[in-house]
Structure 1
Amino acid sequence: MAEIIAGIRVPDSAMARAATQLVRDTEDDLLYHHSRRVFFWGALTGERKALAYDPELLYIGAMFHDMGLTQRYASDNLRFEVDGANAARDFLKGYGIAERDIDDVWAAIALHTTPGVPEHMRPTVALVTAGVEMDVLGLCYHDFTGEQRDHVCRHHPREHNFKESIIDHFAEGTRRKPLTTFGNVKADVLALKDPNYQRLNFCSIILGSAWPT
């Protein structure tokens, strides 16, 4: 039986099922439920805006978007978004997905914390970020009906004080590589959660470079 939540059908291909199982085996409950909600918010946004999106690609992008926060997929020196994007790319290559589609999923994950850019890109990229922004930041919250929000959260609840807990997850995923937060929103996370964190300043880097003038 196909799983339908808030009117959105969850992709049920062998690839989608494998992705679900991989994420379930890798992430904790909070990240798993968050990733599933991101898919539903993104899909509902696509339906509302009448976008021609690929539900399966959106699903992979949503499910992998925080994999870089896990010990299994975290690198020592890359942004966690890039780690997740690389994991998704390797996964998709095993299923013979077209290179352009793989690139879209990669960009969707790599850019999902870079506001102001994804919304102008192809639907897979735009909708993953839209889903993340709804679930984490509450952007466009009132563009969804109460019934949609309730139905999604009934199946994938926002438990364990999600707002505080997701910030803690971000902090744990970036604390060991603080330089990867330069120029992105995770600098705010470490500024809040790590008393030893020193935020880099863009202008100071320019003024302190090796160029004489």
Structure 2
Amino acid sequence: MNTHHTLGRCACHRHARPGVLTISNGAASMGGAATVPRDGALPDTPAARAAEAYLAEVSNLTMVRHCKRTFRFGQALAEKAGARPDLEMLYVGALFHDLGLEPLFAGPDEFESLGAREAERFLNAQGYARIAQQVAAAIELHTSPDTANDPRPEVAYLCMGALCDVVGARLDQLEPRLIQQVVAEYPREGTKALLTALLKIQIDTKPASRIAVAQARMGVLQRIADAPFSG
């Protein structure tokens, strides 16, 4: 189904096997850092389970793990800030935030818009209209750093969680123990290579897109390569 990816479709459980994380010298600040959630549990609702199953059908294991780390980092940053996002919305948004990068959903529009539309379509079709619009909004906006200031916590912390996992943004606000735990549960193996390849397709084929503009201004692909993770 997804021939671009180097790994097969995900058949992983809600937690995955251990992995390794390398953190650069400046990436761990102990003072005032967010604590490890009590049990590291993922939201377990019908909508969350439906989203997990759908993502496993259209993505591969590397992408699924990226999406789950995005949620865990976003949740931890929200906890640190005393924010209270709807965790079901945040989790489903994290699971679906990169749907638009999947070859299955390729189209002329920007990948954020493609993913937002598919997520909203799926959630409405499955009977989860309560969360569909907010999830779509979070996906549409997640690549803009300014979205971290959005008053909707599900939107803001999806953006922050994704940027944390992709380029290491705000990683210094989290305890090294939490980072190690999240990456052990959902190993990064192949994450940089996969995201670089998928984003490069977007940049090369859609030169006016948000991600192409960000690449020209900020060197997104180099920031991914330089992120303080081992893979």
1:179 aligns with 2:208: yes
Unaligned runs of 5+ in 1: 194-213
1:25 aligns with 2:54: no
**CA distance in structure 1 between the partners assigned to 2:41 and 2:138 by the alignment:** 21
**What's the CA shift string for 1:157-206, capped at 9, x where partnerless?**
1113x33442122113453333334774255699979xxxxxxxxxxxxx
Q: Runs of at least 4 residues of structure 1 off by over 4 A? A: 3-6, 186-193
Pick from 66, 76, 86: which aligns with 2:98? 66
Amino acid at match of 2:68: R
Amino acid at match of 1:169: L
Q: Relative CO higher for 1 or 2, CA cutoff 8 Å, sep ≥ 6?
A: 2
Say how many residue pairs are matched. Answer: 189
TM-score by length of 2: 0.72
Report what 2:11 is aligned to. Answer: none
Secondary structure of 1:170 counterpart:
helix
Secondary structure of 2:209 counterpart:
helix
1:51 aligns with 2:79: no
Pick from 142, 153, 160: which aligns with 2:172? 142
Pick from 102, 105, 121: which aligns with 2:132? 102
**CA distance in structure 1 between the partners assigned to 2:185 and 2:106 by the alignment:** 28
Report what 2:25 is aligned to. Answer: none
**CA distance in structure 2 between the partners assigned to 1:29 and 1:37 by the alignment:** 12
**What's the CA shift string for 1:70-119, capped at 9, x where partnerless?**
111222x11001111111111221344456x4332112111111111342
Identity %: 30
Report what 1:206 is aligned to. Answer: none
Unaligned runs of 5+ in 2: 1-13, 17-35, 223-231
Distance 1:26 1:189, change over 3 A: farther
Distance 1:54 1:73, change over 3 A: same
How many angstroms does 1:66 deviate by?
0.5
